[in-house]
């Protein structure tokens, strides 16, 4: 293969890889929208009072929980925040996120679980946008209350900066993810938006417009919780 054909081959390969990467992230964003839509339609879902006080929402579809001697979790998803300096504007473009964690013990088997995390304070949202945070360590985290009549004014929800939920095999519940780490996935952001853009710039500087794949996620949250009712 001469240099000209090699150059063409490499160019086509790079374009194909970029297109594949973008499609993969678009699918992930669309799946996050489907998960959020299904969860808000569950009779005993996230309490309205709690969702109305969240600054950001992280949706991680089909997190793989694996365990062969050493247990752990690995998931990729999206985070969308209310716009504006104080998170008082409509829900904005998503940034890609990664969840990683582990636990030790005799465990066997594996299970895919959907996770939803609510950022209940500006500090929790800002922390995960700029660095990797350990849930329950760098930021306080707790299992979220369930049931539409439940309140965000309980001791647990008032203390926690992040509230977490899970859905597996049709069951929806609050779950503790203490010990897991959450971080922005900026390489996935590059795939999704077609250019280098940080999570911080996506959320706070409106560096990009929301992709079409995020329509369901954003419209679902905007319809369910259009106004931020947190005291901060």
For 47-87, write each residue's pLDDT tens digit: 999 999 999 999 999 775 555 444 556 688 999 999 988 89
The label of the residue with tokens 């999570």 reads 199
Report the range of poorest mean pLDDT among 20-34, 95-109, 112-126, 133-147.
95-109
- Is the pTM higher than 0.85? The answer reads no
Pairwise CA distance, residues 3 & 167, whole Å: 53
Q: H/E element holding 159?
A: helix 155-159
User: How confident is residue 147, by pLDDT bands cut at 50, 70 and 90?
Assistant: confident
**Cβ partners under 8 Å of residue 86, min gap 6:** 122, 228, 232
Per cent of the chain over pLDDT 90 is: 56
**pLDDT given for residue 111 in this prediction:** 62
Pairwise CA distance, residues 202 & 183, whole Å: 14
Q: What is the pLDDT of residues 199-225, one digit of tens each?
A: 999 999 889 999 999 999 999 999 999
User: How confident is residue 164, by pLDDT bands cut at 50, 70 and 90?
Assistant: very high
Is pLDDT at 106 greater than 80 in this prediction?
no
Question: What DSSP state is assigned to residue 89?
Answer: S
**pLDDT given for residue 222 in this prediction:** 97
**Cβ partners under 8 Å of residue 186, min gap 6:** 96, 196, 197, 198, 199
């Amino acid at each position: 293969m001469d240099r000209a054909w090699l150059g063409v081959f490499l160019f086509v390969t790079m374009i194909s890889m970029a297109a594949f990467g973008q499609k993969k992230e678009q699918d992930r964003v669309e799946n996050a929208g489907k998960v959020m839509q299904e969860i808000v339609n569950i009779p005993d879902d996230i309490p309205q009072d709690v969702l109305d006080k969240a600054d950001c929402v992280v949706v991680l579809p089909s997190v793989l929980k694996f365990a062969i001697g050493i247990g752990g979790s690995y998931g990729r998803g999206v985070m969308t925040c209310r716009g504006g300096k104080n998170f008082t504007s409509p829900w904005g473009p998503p940034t890609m996120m990664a969840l990683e964690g582990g636990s030790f013990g005799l465990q066997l088997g594996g299970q895919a679980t959907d996770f939803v995390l609510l950022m209940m304070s500006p500090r929790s949202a800002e922390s995960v946008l700029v660095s990797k945070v350990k849930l329950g360590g760098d930021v306080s985290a707790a299992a979220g209350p369930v049931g539409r009549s439940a309140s965000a004014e309980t001791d647990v929800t008032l203390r926690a900066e992040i509230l977490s939920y899970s859905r597996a095999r049709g069951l929806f519940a609050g779950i503790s993810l203490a010990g897991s780490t959450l971080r922005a996935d900026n390489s996935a952001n590059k795939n999704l938006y077609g250019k280098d853009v940080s999570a911080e710039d996506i959320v706070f500087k409106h560096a990009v417009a929301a992709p079409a794949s995020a329509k369901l996620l954003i419209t679902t949250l905007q319809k369910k919780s259009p106004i931020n009712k947190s005291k901060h």
